[in-house]
Each structure stands twice: as structure tokens, then as C-alpha cells.
Amino acid sequence: MLLIPCPHCGPRNQEEFAYERTLDSVVRLDDAPDVALSALYTRANLRGDDHEIWTHAQGCGQWLRLTRHRMTHAIHSVEPL
Amino acid sequence: MRSGSGITAESVAFSFDGTTYHGQRGDTLAAALIANGVQLVARSFKLHRPRGIMAAGVEEASALVTVGSGAHGEPNVRASDVYLYPGLVARSQNAWPSLRRDIGAVNSLAAALIPAGFYYKTFFGPPSRWMLYERFIRRAAGLGQPPRLPDPDHYGHRSAFCDVLVVGAGPAGLNAALAATLAGKRVILIEQDVLPGGTLLREDVTINGAPGAHWAQYVVARILEAGGRVLTRTTATGYWDDNFVTAVERRVEPGQPGTGEAQVSWRLRCGEVVLATGAIERPLVFVNNDLPGVMLAGAVRELALRHGVVPGRRAVIATSHDEAYRTAFALAALGVDIVAILDSRADPAGPVIAVARARFTVLTDARPLRAWRRGMAMAGLEAQVGGTRQSFAIDCLAMSGGSSPVLHLHRQAGGALEFDAARGAFLPGAGRQRHSTLGAAAGVHDLAALLPDATVVDPLGAGTPPAPGPVWRDEAPGKAFVDFQNDVTTADLALAQREGYVSVEHTKRYTTLGMGTDQGKTGAMVALAQIADLRALPLPDTGLTTFRAPYTPVTLGAFAGPMRGDHAAPLRRLALANAHDALGALWVPAGAWMRPRAYPHQGESLGVASLREARMVRANVGVVDVSSLAKFEIAGPDALTLVAAVCATPVAKLAVGRGRYTVMLREDGMVMDDGTLWRLEETRWLLTSSTGGAARMARHLTYVADVLLGHPRAAVVDLGEHWAGLALAGPAAAHVLAGLTGAPVPAHMGLDAAHLAGVPVRILAASYSGERAFEVHVRRDQAAPVFAALVEAARAAGGGVYGLDAMDHLRVEKGHVVIGAEADGRTTPADLGMAGMLRKTGGYVGWQGLTRPALADAATRRQLVGLTALDAGAIAEGAMLVAREGAEPVGHVTTAAPRVAGEGAIALGLLLNGAARHGDRLLAWSPTRHSTVPVEVGPPLFFDPEGARYRD
Ligand SMILES: [Zn+2]
């Protein structure tokens, strides 16, 4: 279970958090349809760092951006969104 | 009386297959059975071959028994992994009518008909073939039966932190744990055995002048004294991200009734982890290497030195390295006749060999070819000795084909493996997390090297590290096993290779190699060596299957812990729960909530009660508790921006004091939730949504606000828990409500503040039943008098309370969709007939997803339809819509109901191209409920199509 350093609450167990999605799959409200559909359905999944959106659902409720390695799961940074 | 390092003299009675025996406290069931001369313990999984005890720990693959009676019964317990307690009851498995006369043993004869890959091929064949074989296979092949009664045991969950976790209390682990504790670190040492010591329990050595087992006890005492924590009978089952280790502690033995916690599931967050998990000895491959009496040499040594038990009177030791020689001395000390030591090496040398040659017959370039039995146990062995074959009349063979470091946790942690060709074994490479490996798990068996600060006296010397001998090449005809639990032979491996299941992952699925409760602990490396030989590849190139958690089987109850029964999920009770009870409510879970399903009169069935309640609403007036619906207030200068992003319907022009129905979409355009949106003030809104989607909607609102809109000046407050909601519906609703508030009621889709029963309330005029209806919102702590007044007034008007089922009947008749039934996550607004409601300008979550071209093809979309039963039968929910029984389904029934206004059965359903199929006739077919009802497709609206009844 990951230990996620919440910028607001400090290091907490993964089970307090909820994973939302990768940053590159976020559909902005003003994205053109082709951009949005590509973000939803044709994403890369390369070895290396990923940017992910999580929320500290059972903690402060803050939305967070994690930089995390897709293979080792190592978390390099956590920033509030 | 026996003597050994782990047992006390106390006699303990136990039974096996109905016969009572006596063992000694500290014995494993395996040791006690052997002490009583019981060799035949089990029948093998597939071939029903007679099996005995092979190993001395969790790696035991053959001797699986059911321990305990009734609800306390635990199947598939390794006989070597349960310690005697008074009254222990054990039974053999997979044999009928008895172990000796097992009918299933004809499977051995029929084995040619069930070769490796049989299941695999059957699964790829037509389903009817599997249906045919399944009953036969399930009876013939099997492990133990779980008890059918609820588990009476209690299970605990604990969390703990430590600076250093040491897994394994053998010499390496004890040494590391003591050093870390003395250095002031918070230390947890866990050991799966009841005793600390690991290999010290089965070796004749002294450390600092004390027998190894005593030294281990002394070190544990020092660790505890210095503030460390020691958990025995605790197995580390998994190593997860960020140095998180799970472990399961057994506080009572399998099948043993107890009052406290039977098992405790530990969650350990560790600064660093020291893996001192030891090594598992490998069997040798030869024909009939699975006979009772053929055992791992280390296990035989443990029986002799720890338990003072010997498995035979005449033994041969067969080995490929020095360590197994120790078994000859241990057995000889207890009076066993060592007939020979067979060493596969041509020219072994070293101190232990020299001592052995002086006492025993040591044959080199020698290895077993074939064992045979008399009755159910081993009677002899044929061996290759140089260029000749020799036979031995023996009842015990202690074998060792090298040893495999236990690297499961290391691998689960992401650690690398390095193949050591000399040892024929994988050793731990670089770790990925903060962990290290010590002792036999790292390939270090030399006690003096492991304990540099101690005085180790080993009369036999260290010897060479274990290494495997030559692989088996069918030197004798017959079954030679690599995986004892799954009855996988060398021939099965060869068949898999011939049939193209070359990759080790494919071989595993094809032959079932490495599956089952032991997960290939003894057999995997032996099989890999065989596969490498067949493919003429270096062993590491054959690949390795994944080391998945848990390391040993875990009782399901240990995962659940105290979270079972009523504690499995939090139960949410309505603010008015007591009032509903007083009215005779029948409760039903709805999401996490308990909601009144109906209020049956004396002797009234649920169906009759619900229909009566629904008809009461159509005729007069009814009150229903809708408190569990989600309610959010959204306020601030940018509130409109947030509301417009979340709701897919027009919002900006909604007047203050008015509301409207709305839907919220996911980004892919599917309906996520629905509800009503109300404009309380220019910049203050109220959004209601479904009960089951409340948590999701709360999160969605903050996601849209914080992630998509970058923190607009708008606050979202979840009012779901703060307010109760009571709906009043029916032709008399307006009159009843006006009488209670003394004020005119709001127009349809209007809202107003009022006082009711002296309490301030908000009244929202919205209908979900097709009747004129109002939702009364009130603070939850003030809801009781409001509810009482509403019920009393409704009754005075000829109405009363109604529940969830009546609500469902009413909404089906009106074609209103429900999240989770019709809006099942695969339907767009257009599928549900709501395309006209959407905001033409877009800009809401999901607008782009709706442009996906595939969604425009009606022929591939399941669309909302109404279904009318053409005969008297009730339509089954979940039934398939088919042209005829057995035909490809073209849709399904989402909600079924009786007609409220009129007679007969109706339903809502989703049907391919349904909007264009009104008038078609289909069958609502449910083979699982044995129900087939002819239905006519029509619009999803069965009552008051003009909507005249709910308007003002
Ligand atoms: Zn937080």
C-alpha cells in the first residue's frame, strides 16, 4: 500500500485516498471533441513517470497531482491542485 | 518418552480418521502421526495416489488434512503446519470410502485419459463438453471441503509501525533483530513457527555453549527485554508498496475452538525490512518419488532432532550435496539403520563426507531410479550406482535435490533475482524498496559466517552449499513427480513442451504446475530445471512465474476481520427510522441506507401492500421518506459556472424560486446521475441527486470545481446528512399541504419557505410519481413533528404512508428512469429519450463524449422502452428480451412493476433500436428464474401521457 505524502496532512496510507485518473485523460470543458475523445480513449501507457490526479477523500478532501512511476510506483512529487 | 528440542513430555490425545492416538505437546500433527506409525495420510489431488508426509513446514504439498469438526473445520491444513492440542480431530481428504480403499484411485488407471492440459483443452472446446465433464471432474479431483456453517471464529485486524521488521527467527533473523533492538530501533520480529530458531531446531549445534534451540530462546528473551516485539506463529503473507508488509498471526491452531481472536491480520508499515526467510529443500525426481516414506532430508532431520521421531527403521539418504548427510547422523543416533547414502556427485570430498564414510555406506555417482511399495508405504528402492543398478529394501528415503532460497517477499517488493549456476538457484539481487536478505534466503548456510560474534560448535562442520544434481531423463519407466500437490510429472512437462506450451507461464496453466495451496514451493525449481533440459536452455532463460501474495493460504475470515455481518458496511439509519418502525415499516437496504420498502397491514404480503400504497397515491395522497436523496447547496459569485459545468441541461435562465429536472453526465457522455436543480437566490443553488450516487456526486462536484474550473468562487455544501426530505404526492396533496402550512402551495417546479407543525421547512413542488407532489425539506433534528403532521393529515384525507416499492411502481408507470437501473452507466441521454433536454451550447461535462460517432448509430444502442405483458405472468427483472427462447438477446428488462392504474404487468427495458420498435412483440426470458413472458414494446409511458395530473 502506497504511503502518499499529502501536502496538507502529511504521509498517509493509500486507502485514505481515491485515485481519479491520469492528468493526460482529463477532459477540459472547452476541449474540442477530437481532443477530448483522444484523451479518453487513445492514451499512451509508457514505462516511466505518470502524472495522476488523486483526492485525499478520507482526509482533507484536497485534489492532488502525483508524479508516480508506472512500474516501480515510486512517488516523486505531490502537489495540490 | 521422546526427547527433542521442541517438545515437552505432556501427552496429548488426538484423532485421525476416527482413530485416537497420543502425541506430545509441541509436536506437529505430522510428527505425531509418524510417531504413531501412520504413514498414509492423504490421496493426491488428481490421481488419488497414496501420499504421506514429505516436508516439515508450510511447503508440505501432499499431506493436506481437514482439522476440526463442524463449523470449526478447516480444510487443506498441512499436517506439518498444525501443532497438537488436546482433542484435535483430523480427517483425510479426497478419499472415499477410506484412505486405504479409495475408489477414486481408479483415476490412476484412467490417468492416460486425463492427461495434462485436459482442463485447458476442455475450456477451449464447446461449453457443452465442459458441462458434461464438470460433475465427474469435480467429484474426482479435489481438496478438502470447507464447512458449510458460518465461521464461529473471531478475527482481528492490527496495524503497527516499526523501524526494522525482521521476517524469520532463524539464526540470521534472530541476530539481525537483536542487533537492531540493541541499537535502539523499534523492531518487530515475526516467525511462522511456534518456536524461534528456524534451522537451529533441526541441527545438532551449540552456540555460545548452549544447544541451538536454547540459544534462540535466549535471544528472543533479550529482544523482548530491550523493547522489541516478537510475533511467533505469524506468517508474512505479502510485501507491498512503500515497505508495507501484511502478516497473519494464528492465536489458536486450525480447528481449535477458542474464545478470543483465532487469527490476527497485521498491517505493518516498516522503515526497513530484513528478510531472513530461509530456504526450502528440493525433492529429487525419480519414479514413485511421491510414495509415503519418501521425504525431504531436512524434514526427516527435523522430525528426529526436534520431535525425537523417526519415519522408518531402514533408510537411504539420497542427495546431491553435503547438507543431507547430516540426516544420516540424526537418524542413526535414534537407532535407524542407514542402509546407504547415495550421492549423485562423482567425487565428493570434505569433512562431513570423511566422517560419513567412516560410519556409513557412501555410494557416489549414485541416485534413485524407482521406488516401490508394499501395501501403502515404501518397501524398496532401485538406484543407479555408477554403471550398475542396485536395489535396497528400505522403508524410508530422505532426499535432497538442493535448496531454493525463499524469495517470495523479496520479489513482491520488486527485488531483482540473480541466478547462481553453482547452486542452481536464484539468489536475491538488488532490492527496489528498503529491504535486505540474510541467511539461507541469501544462499548463506554456514552458521559461523551468519553469527560471527558467537562461538558456534558444529560437530559435522559447515559443508558445501546445497546444489542440485543431474536432471531426470526418464531413466526408468513410470511416474516421476515434480509437483506433488497437482500430480504434475516429468511426462506432463514434456507433453506441454511438445504441444507448444513452451513459456513457463503457459506450462503452468497447461499442467497446473505450481498451483494449489503450496504454489510450487518445493516443485517449481525442479520443474524449471526439467524444462530447461528439455529446451536445452540455461535455467534462467526458461523464465519464472510470478511470486504472488499470499505466501501461504490465508483464511478468508482473516481478511474480513471484524468487518462481517452487520459490521461489513456502515449502516445508515434515517432520521425518522423510529417513526417508520412505529408505522410497521418493512426495511430494505438501498445503498448504505435502510429505507422503508412498504408498510404491510396485518397478514398482507409485500406485493399486495406495495400495490395498495401506490393506488392510494393515485387515488388520494401518500407520504414517503426521501431523506436519503443527495442534496447539495452551491453558493458564491461563480456558482452558476459550476452548476453549468455539472448539469447537462439549460440552467442559466432558471428563475430564482424555480427548479427543473436535470442530468449529469460522465466525460464519455453516459448518464452519471439525475436530480433536480433549484435556484434559491441569484447565486445560490440547490441540487438533488440519487441516493446511491451521493458520494460520487460529492466528489464529482469538487473535481469539476478544483480540477476543471481551477477553484471558482463557489462553495459546495453537502446537505444530505443535515436535512430530511418528505414527499407528499397525490391528487389531494396540494389541499393537504395547504391545510398544514396555512399558505398557498408553490406552483409545479416552484419552491417556497413555510412553517409546518411549527417548524421552518422548504417546499419544492416536484413530482416523480406522475401526481401533483411536493418535497418538504426540514432539518433532520426537527423532522419528527413534520412527518407526524404529514402522516396524520394524509390519513385524514384517505391516504397514508408509502414505501420504496410503491414509489417504484408509480415511476415505472410514468417512465421515469432510476440511476443504476435504466441509467446503468451504459446509457446516454438520447438512449433514455432525453436528448431534447440537453443544452445545445455544450460546455458541460460529457458534451464532447456525446459526439462520438458510434453513439449516433441507433441500431447498436439499447434504448429505453416500455414493455406490456401479454399474459398474466409477472415480468422478471433482468430478463433478456429475445425473439424466441435461446435467441440472441436484443435487450433486457430493467425494472418490472404491476400496473397501478389498471391491471396487468408492465416494465421498463433497454432494447436495441428500441425507439423504432414500438408495437413489436418479444419474449422477456429469464432462464435463471424459469420465467418467459410475451411482451409488447411501446413508449416508456403508461399513464397520463399529457402530464395533466401533476401540473397545477
Ligand atoms: Zn490531506
Collect all residues of chain A within an 8 Å Cβ-Cβ radius of residue B242.
1-3
Alpha helices in B512-632 (DSSP H): 524-535, 556-560, 577-582, 606-619
CA distance B200 to B215: 9
> Cell match 533408510: residue?
B315
Determine the residue among A29, A52, A63, A72 to mutate to test chain B binding: the one whose Cβ has the most chain B Cβ atoms within 10 Å: A29
Q: Which domains does chain B have, with CATH numbers?
A: 11-123 (3.10.20.440), 154-279+406-457 (3.50.50.60), 287-400 (3.50.50.60), 470-537 (1.10.10), 579-626+726-742+762-774+785-809 (3.30.1360.120), 630-718 (3.30.70.1400), 857-952 (2.40.30.110)
> Cell match 436495441: residue?
B912
Over the stretch B458-471, which tens digit does the pLDDT of each residue have? 999 888 889 999 99
CB contact under 8 A, A63 and B702: yes
Number of neighbouring beta carbons within 10 Å of residue B1: 7
Over the stretch B175-224, which tens digit does the pLDDT of each residue have? 999 999 999 999 999 999 999 999 999 999 999 999 999 999 999 999 99
**CA-based end-to-end distance of chain A:** 23
Evaluate if residue B115 carries a pLDDT over 90: no
B414 vs A: CB within 8 A: yes
CB contact under 8 A, A31 and B848: yes
B434 vs A: CB within 8 A: no
Cα–ligand 1 centroid distance for A76 (angstroms):
17
Q: Does residue B29 sit in helix, strand or coil? A: helix
CB distance B412 to B369 below 8 Å: no
> Cell match 501474495: residue?
B549
Collect all residues of chain B within an 8 Å Cβ-Cβ radius of residue A33.
848, 851
From B241, B843, B848, residue closest to A33, measured CB to CB:
B848
From B244, B432, B849, residue closest to A36, measured CB to CB:
B849
Collect all residues of chain B within an 8 Å Cβ-Cβ radius of residue A27.
667, 845, 848-849
Number of neighbouring beta carbons within 10 Å of residue B836: 8
CB distance B910 to B865 below 8 Å: yes
Q: In the structure, what pLDDT confidence band is assigned to residue B566 with cuts at 50, 70 and 90?
A: confident
pLDDT over 70, % of chain B: 96
Collect all residues of chain B within an 8 Å Cβ-Cβ radius of residue A1.
240-242, 244, 267
Q: What is the model's pLDDT at position B126? A: 65
> Of B2-16, B185-199, B846-860, where does mean pLDDT reach its minimum?
B2-16
Q: Output the nine-digit C-alpha cell for B187.
A: 523492531
Who wins on pLDDT, B663 or B142? B663
CA distance B452 to B866: 82
The mean of the pLDDT values for chain B is 94
Over the stretch B839-852, which tens digit does the pLDDT of each residue have? 999 999 999 999 99
From B240, B706, B844, residue closest to A63, measured CB to CB:
B706
Computed from CA positions of residues B912, B918, B923, B928, in that sequence, does the dihedral angle turn out positive or negative?
A: positive
Question: Taking residues B105-122, what's their average pLDDT?
Answer: 61
Q: Dump the DSSP string for B758-793.
A: TEEEEEE---SSSS-EEEEEEEGGGHHHHHHHHHHH
> Cell match 559435522: residue?
B460
Nearest-neighbour CA in chain A from B277: distance (Å): 22
Collect all residues of chain B within an 8 Å Cβ-Cβ radius of residue A2.
241-242
DSSP B392: E
Give residue B269's region: left, alpha or beta (phi > 0; psi -120 to 50): beta
Number of neighbouring beta carbons within 10 Å of residue B548: 11
Q: Nearest-CA residue of chain A relative to B852?
A: A37
Q: Nearest-CA residue of chain B relative to A30?
A: B843
Cα–ligand 1 centroid distance for A59 (angstroms):
5
Would you list the domain boundaries of chain A? 3-80
CB distance B816 to B768 below 8 Å: yes
Over the stretch B241-261, which tens digit does the pLDDT of each residue have? 999 999 999 999 999 998 899
Q: Nearest-CA residue of chain A relative to B239?
A: A1
Q: For B680-721, what is the HEC assignment?
A: EECCEEEEEECCCCHHHHHHHHHHHHHHHCCCCCCEEEECCC
Interface of A with B (CB under 8 A): 1-3, 13-14, 18, 20, 26-33, 35-37, 40, 53, 55, 57, 61-63, 72-73, 81
Determine the residue among B670, B697, B706 to mutate to test chain A binding: the one whose Cβ has the most chain A Cβ atoms within 10 Å: B706
CB distance B635 to B703 below 8 Å: no
Radius of gyration of chain B (CA): 36
What are phi and psi for residue B267, nearest 5 degrees?
Answer: -120, 110
Evaluate if residue B731 carries a pLDDT over 90: yes
CATH code for the structural domain at A3-80 = 3.30.2270.10
Q: Choose among B476, B259, B299: nearest CA to B396.
A: B299
Collect all residues of chain B within an 8 Å Cβ-Cβ radius of residue A76.
none
> Cell match 480540477: residue?
B707
Please give the helix or strand (H or E) that residue B302 lies within, else none: helix B297-307
CA distance B441 to B759: 72
Q: In the structure, what pLDDT confidence band is assigned to residue B735 with cuts at 50, 70 and 90?
A: very high
Q: What is the model's pLDDT at position B120? A: 64
**CA-based end-to-end distance of chain B:** 95
Residue type at B67? V
CB contact under 8 A, A72 and B414: yes
Q: Does residue B412 sit in helix, strand or coil? A: helix
Cα–ligand 1 centroid distance for A69 (angstroms):
21
Cα–ligand 1 centroid distance for A19 (angstroms):
13
B851 vs A: CB within 8 A: yes
Q: How distant, in Å, are the alpha carbons of B132, B216, B741 from that of B540?
A: 41, 36, 83
From B668, B702, B708, residue closest to A61, measured CB to CB:
B702
CB contact under 8 A, B849 and A40: yes
Q: What is the model's pLDDT at position B129? A: 65
Q: Nearest-CA residue of chain A relative to B851?
A: A33
CB contact under 8 A, B848 and A37: yes
Evaluate if residue B109 carries a pLDDT over 60: no
Q: Nearest-CA residue of chain B relative to A20?
A: B703
Q: In the structure, what pLDDT confidence band is assigned to residue B907 with cuts at 50, 70 and 90?
A: very high
Over the stretch B468-514, which tens digit does the pLDDT of each residue have? 999 999 999 999 999 999 999 999 999 999 999 988 889 988 888 88
Q: What is the model's pLDDT at position B132? A: 65
Cα–ligand 1 centroid distance for A53 (angstroms):
13
Q: How distant, in Å, are the alpha carbons of B27, B827, B832, B920 from that of B912?
A: 67, 12, 12, 12
Model pTM score: 0.91
From B240, B667, B845, residue closest to A1, measured CB to CB:
B240
CA distance B152 to B460: 49
Q: What is the model's pLDDT at position B118? A: 66
Q: Is B665 exposed, middle or buried (0-12, 13-18, 19+ CB in 10 A)?
A: buried
Alpha helices in B600-745 (DSSP H): 606-619, 639-646, 694-703, 733-741
Evaluate if residue B743 carries a pLDDT over 80: yes
Q: What is the model's pLDDT at position B519? A: 87
CB contact under 8 A, A29 and B244: no
Bond before B428 cis per omega within 30 degrees: no
From B242, B645, B699, residue closest to A55, measured CB to CB:
B699
Evaluate if residue A22 carries a pLDDT over 70: yes
Q: What is the model's pLDDT at position B951? A: 77
Number of neighbouring beta carbons within 10 Å of residue B426: 22
Question: Taking residues B395-409, what's their average pLDDT?
Answer: 97
